[in-house]
Amino acid sequence: MINPSSIAFDVDGVFADTMTLFLDIAHKEYGINWIRPEDITSYSIEDCIDIDKNIINNILNSILDGNYNVTLKPIDGAPEVLTKLGMSQRRLLFVTARPYLGPIYDWMLSILPLKPDSIEIVTTGTFEGKSDVLLRKNVAYFVEDRLETCFKLKEAGITPVLFKQPWNREAHPFVEVETWSDLEELIKF
């Protein structure tokens, strides 16, 4: 069982459904409507989808900057479990490889009925930077969707919990959850 005060979360692919957002922007802005979520089998989208790299970069930059005309939604069940966690402790910690905060903090505040000072988001700019932040914050468990990052976390002494996504379907030794209900069962409330 995971102590609620010892767990932190990634943002994209764990809390924010940025894969669906990517697909919605591709469809609305570029007329690309043939991609299905299960087609994104690599964290590096250009490795698995035949789309111009400039379009991919434009979409990713739009996501970071909040410059899109579709709705970013949370992963099913995330708001409920995160709210429960937020009510049971003084803060929720999110650590993301995003290079800057952008509008994601305001989005979180619009989704979670928690006080602003109970949500902390740390941007690292790199996947490798997550371990240092988590160690400084005394985090023992981290929910992550990028399999390569899970191996780095494990090396640093942090227990990763892999959030199942189409791009992380390789063999691995980590605890894996498919839904936020699965994750909730691992947390000792």
Name the pTM for this structure.
Answer: 0.96
Q: 48 with 106, same domain?
A: no
Task: List phi, psi (to 5°) of 182.
Answer: -60, -45
Q: 12 with 80, same domain?
A: yes
- The pLDDT value recorded for residue 119 is 96
Q: 80 with 166, same domain?
A: yes
Residue-wise pLDDT for 41-96, tens only, equals 998 999 999 999 999 999 999 999 999 999 999 999 999 999 999 998 878 999 99
Task: Give the contacts of 65 (CB within 8 A, at least 6 positions apart).
Answer: 102, 103
Q: 36 with 11, same domain?
A: no
Cα gap 121→12, rounded to integer Å: 12
Active site residues: 10, 12
The structural domain count of the chain equals: 2
Cα gap 175→41, rounded to integer Å: 20
Tokens of 19: 């894969």
- The pLDDT value recorded for residue 189 is 85
Q: 10 with 93, same domain?
A: yes
Residues (pLDDT < 50) of the chain are: none
Domain that holds residue 95: 4-16+74-186
Q: 53 with 109, same domain?
A: no
Cα gap 16→9, rounded to integer Å: 11
